[in-house]
Amino acid sequence: MPVSETIRKKVGELPHKPGIYLMRDRFGKVIYVGKALDLRKRVSHYFQPSRRLGWDLKFNALVAAIHDFDFHVVRSEPEALLLESKLIKEFHPRYNISLRDDKRFLLLKVNLLDPIPRFTFTRLKTDDGARYFGPFPDSTAARRTLKLAQQKFNLRGCRPLTPTERDYKHCLYAHLKFCTAPCIANVTREQYLEQVNAACDFLAGESAGQLEQLTADMQKAAAGQDYERAAQLRDALRDLKHTTRKTEKFERIPYSLPPTINPQNDLAELAQLLGLPAPPQRIEGFDISNISGTFAVASLVSFRNGRPDRANYRRFKIKSVTGQDDFASMAEVVGRRYSRLQRESRGKGEDGGLRIEDGQPRANPSSILHLPSSFPDLILIDGGKGQLNAATAELKKLGLENIPVIGLAKEFEEIYRPGTPAPLRLSHDTGALKLLQRIRDECHRFANTYNAQLRLKKISESLLDEFPGMGEKRKAALLKKFGSVQRLRLATVEQLAAVPGFGGKAAAELKAFLEARAASA
């Protein structure tokens, strides 16, 4: 496929700098996100015909689908990696495989409200009052730097939330003088907090003095021919630079729908192709999102005059369906949506086929169908025959079978209509199809966003995973006894100790842990 002159010109203007690039198809949708140490060299490889014979089928399909691209310059390779991961999770490009799941880069956290604060690694940042450092693309360097900080500021490396004198007896950190042993009151909590705050400043990048000291020690060891020591100091110096390097704070790149040249023309064309009595001024689209039957949700997006009407977007949790059943889920959501509109319409009364726009009464296309104006002029279902049949059955139960409804199947962009066995296939350059694709893609984005929010909320609510020594059996026993973390917080130490797998010490530590987290919320 020949490369367009526009793309050739953009490639020639790319800088020889690190960054990320976003490949877009002819609808403006992001289909691939990549990173590069040299943007011009990397992106130009996509458009060199001489390399085509060495490409695999997937890469050939990607290149054939590229219609345009965007790019963003960063300062270093780690920043490019971080931004690439962020954008893949945001846009879910079809040609990206890695970095599209829930994996996140390593973070370092410390909660200063804990009885004796300790530094721990996590991959999820929550609003729990703790201080977070990172993310760190190089996790090995981050772990070595934390070890260096613990030695420099005499911080504890033990796991208990509140270490006691019994823990001190078996603690190598304290006996080797790596730790000031706040567990036996060698120092007060205020003094230990000063050590922790100094380590926070160190990890936040205020480490110039330490870098100079390490450099001097390395040079001294090399001059004394202690090459093993010099190599260790060199590695520590490299790790410290990697970990405390300032990274760019990337602003969220807003999701934008591909533009349309003339939405009214697209609506008129759509009405003609579907045999509608008038251009559908209001279209509602539905999509289902679930992961292996968990967190099943649905989205409803509304388009008015061919443009998103975000004030009328709705989202639903699937209530009556167990497991992964998109057909039953679609039936539930369509039934809930339009049975509610029926109830609201009966309460308000029908408008007699008139609506008010700009102070003037206008004819409502819905009046042709003898429906209240709150109902859409067209319903779009994301899916094929199965999803469409489930939706039309629900509309029939409600006596709303006169509302036009279609399904848009993603694989071949086929339009399915009730009572018509053969799908309608439109040219991909058709404005009407592009309009339907914009609605479908917006449904998909809105549903996936809600699904991700629920999964994140579920993860953030599970504080028990942060408690040292909390295994699956212990956690299950606690939740079986108390039902939720909220009720667990109200339990006494005696009630916690009565749970199988817990003794008096573990119960007291868990109670202190929950109280500390509650205070930071």
The mean pLDDT of 251-271, rounded to a whole number, is: 67
The mean pLDDT of 140-165, rounded to a whole number, is: 77
Q: How far apart are CA 205 and CA 243, in angstroms?
A: 8
Q: Containing H/E element for 23? A: strand 19-24
Q: Which of 39-53, 274-288, 398-412, 456-470 has the weakest average pLDDT?
A: 456-470
Q: Is the predicted pLDDT of residue 156 greater than 90, yes or no?
A: no
What is each CA distance from 515 to 132, 486, 518, in whole angstroms? Answer: 20, 11, 5
> What pLDDT is stored for residue 353 in this prediction?
39
Beta-strand relationship, 131-136 and 106-110: antiparallel
Q: What is the CA radius of gyration of the chain?
A: 30
Please tell me which of 112-126, 174-188, 385-399 the model is most confident about, judged by mean pLDDT: 385-399
> What pLDDT is stored for residue 248 in this prediction?
47
> What pLDDT is stored for residue 519 in this prediction?
60
Beta bridge partners of 302: 284
Q: Containing H/E element for 234? A: helix 227-244
- Kindly indicate the confidence band of residue 360, based on its pLDDT and cuts at 50, 70 and 90: very low
The mean pLDDT of 313-329, rounded to a whole number, is: 87
Q: Is the predicted pLDDT of residue 281 greater than 50, yes or no?
A: yes
Q: Rounded to the nearest 5°, which phi and psi values hold at 33?
A: -125, 130
Domain 263-451 sits in CATH at 3.30.420.340
- Buried (b) or exposed (e) across 348-384, using 16+ Cβ within 10 A? eeebebebeeeeeeeebbbbeeebbbbbbbbbbbbbb
The model's pTM is: 0.46
> What pLDDT is stored for residue 89 in this prediction?
72
The CATH superfamily label for domain 462-520 reads 5' to 3' exonuclease, C-terminal subdomain (1.10.150.20)
> What pLDDT is stored for residue 57 in this prediction?
75
Which of helix, strand or coil describes residue 504? helix
Each domain of the chain, given as residue ranges in start order, spans: 5-91, 106-244, 263-451, 462-520
> What pLDDT is stored for residue 387 in this prediction?
92
Determine contact, residues 253/90, Cβ cutoff 8 Å. Answer: yes
The mean pLDDT of 410-425, rounded to a whole number, is: 88
DSSP of 265-322: HHHHHHHHHHT-SS--SEEEEEEEEEETTEEEEEEEEEEETTEE-GGG-EEEE--S--
Q: Which of 100-109, 217-226, 382-391 has the weakest average pLDDT?
A: 100-109
Q: How far apart are CA 26 and CA 502, in angstroms?
A: 60
Q: Is the predicted pLDDT of residue 518 greater than 70, yes or no?
A: no
Averaged confidence pLDDT in the chain = 78
Compute the Cα dihedral for 173, 177, 178, 182 and give only its sign: positive
Structure tokens at 199: 């380590």
The mean pLDDT of 219-233, rounded to a whole number, is: 76
**Selected residue with higher pLDDT from 340 and 324:** 340
Determine contact, residues 86/111, Cβ cutoff 8 Å. Answer: no
The mean pLDDT of 261-289, rounded to a whole number, is: 90
**Selected residue with higher pLDDT from 23 and 215:** 23
Q: Is the predicted pLDDT of residue 34 greater than 80, yes or no?
A: yes
Q: How far apart are CA 289 and CA 329, in angstroms?
A: 10
Q: How many residues does the chain have?
A: 521
The topology (CATH level 3) of 5-91 is GIY-YIG endonuclease (3.40.1440)
